[in-house]
Amino acid sequence: MSFLAQTILPYILLYKYTALFVITFLAALAIPIPAGTLLVASAAFASQGYFNIVVLIIVVTIANMAGDNLSFWLARIYGKKLLYRVGFLKKILTSRNFILIEKRINKRPGFIIFITRFEVIATLTTNLICGMGNVRYRKFLLFEAMGAFADTFFYAMVGYLFGDSWQAVNDLIGNFSIVFFLAIALGVALFWKKIINNLAKEEIKTR
């Protein structure tokens, strides 16, 4: 377990669901808190009766949704007006690739909103693009809720089912963390590249 997780875990054990909500909410805004590890640990304690696993899943899901919805509405209200004032961000927002990605998400947002819930940076990026774009809030909320629940349920079940062995499992994951995160980064990059290439082809066909 990381030093930061070890530092935060006692607060979760002391303040329980309130601490879980606050930590998960902040992590949903891309603040570097190991929320996944802490959720696995909390679920392991739930297997010993310290938490109610159902309440835990509900609290963490709502916290994730609260963070994601805040980033969505900040992007919708302030969005490009604020970001355009930052030089390098303006270049990104007006780039061809960003415009193609925005079009793809606006056209069929459901799957992308759902699948990006499993990776923090991808989640925040999608939230901002949906907020700045033309994605209807009801559609965003539906797939956001489904994805947030699936993500929370997965990590909670890992901790709950492994119980006393959760830390060994977490340490095992930690030993391969570099490879794991490189694989995620590569997968996300290939995913977006495929979308960009497909949109570019569609754009050429419609000319």
Query: How many C-alpha atoms does 108 have within 13 Å on its Cβ side?
Result: 6
Q: What is the mean pLDDT of the chain?
A: 79
Q: What is the pLDDT of residues 38-48, one digit of tens each?
A: 898 899 899 88
Residues in the chain, total: 207
- Residue 182 confidence class, pLDDT cut points 50, 70, 90: low
Comparing 95-99, 132-136, 186-190, the range with the smallest average pLDDT is: 186-190
Inter-helix orientation angle 120-132/96-107, to 10°: 80
Q: Report residue 106 as tokens.
A: 């606006």
Which position has the higher pLDDT, 6 or 2? Answer: 6
Does residue 26 carry a pLDDT above 90?
yes
Phi, psi of 95 (to 5 degrees): -75, 155
Q: Which domain holds residue 115?
A: 3-205
Mean pLDDT, range 63-74, rounded to an integer: 94
Number of domains in the chain: 1
Does residue 53 carry a pLDDT above 90?
yes
Q: Report residue 171 as tokens.
A: 């340490």
206 in helix, strand or coil?
coil
Does residue 92 carry a pLDDT above 80?
no
- Residue 150 confidence class, pLDDT cut points 50, 70, 90: very high
- Residue 195 confidence class, pLDDT cut points 50, 70, 90: low
Nearest CA among 182, 117, 167 for reference residue 5: 167
Q: Report residue 93 as tokens.
A: 């927002």
Mean pLDDT, range 21-46, rounded to an integer: 89
- Name the DSSP letter for residue 95: S
Rounded distance, CA 64 to CA 152, Å?
9
Mean pLDDT, range 166-171, rounded to an integer: 57
Q: Provide the whole-model pTM.
A: 0.76
Where residue 30 falls (left for φ over 0; alpha for ψ -120 to 50; beta otherwise) is left
